Structures are given as C-alpha cells and as structure tokens.
Amino acid sequence: MIQRLAEGPATVTDLVELVDLSQPLVSWHLRTLKAAGLVETRRVGREVICSLRRDEFERYERAQAWLLAAGTDADAARGRPATDEATA
C-alpha cells in the first residue's frame, strides 16, 4: 500500500483491489498508518481518498536509519562485528 500511495493518492477501493485483502483489513492498516502520521485521508462523496504524508514518511525513514546506525555503532564499540541480527 505504501508503494502505491508513493505514486499518488488512491481510494480505499483501489488499495483493496491492489493488495487483495478485505476492505475492513485494509481500513485497519490505513488507520494504523494514519495514527502513525504516515497517511492522511479525506472523504469525497462515498469514497475515502488516501495520501502518503511524504514529509512524515521521510522523517520516519531518517529516524529508522539513525536507529539502525546506532545499533551498528554499539556493536562496533563492543568490538563485535555488526550482524543481520543486530540490525534487524
């Protein structure tokens, strides 16, 4: 869904068809993304239009990269090579 929303706004119906999940399950995921501040929605008639909040998504990506780098730095400080487990 994130990849699709990165291309531009989409309706819930579009997303349901894309991911082949039930409408309630897609709506649950969208509510989770909205609560995290990554997606915004607006109603147009009976349709709900979803958009990616690019600024918040980019902030989230930077924070994630910082956390992953911090884990790698902590391993290096302990004299251990970084492993997939340490950065997962």
Give pTM, 2 decimals: 0.69
On whether both 27 and 13 belong to a single domain, the answer is: yes
The tally of CA atoms less than 13 A away on the side-chain side of residue 15 is 28
Average pLDDT, the chain: 87
On whether both 11 and 38 belong to a single domain, the answer is: yes
On whether both 66 and 42 belong to a single domain, the answer is: no
CA distance 54 to 80: 36
The residues that bridge with 10 in the sheet, in sequence order, are 50
pLDDT in tens, 61-87: 899 999 999 877 655 556 665 555 554
**What is the residue range of 26's domain?**
2-52
Q: Is the pLDDT of residue 43 over 90?
A: yes
Please return the burial class of 16, using the count of CB atoms within 10 Å of its CB with bins 0-12, 13-18 and 19+: middle
pLDDT in tens, 52-67: 999 998 898 899 999 9
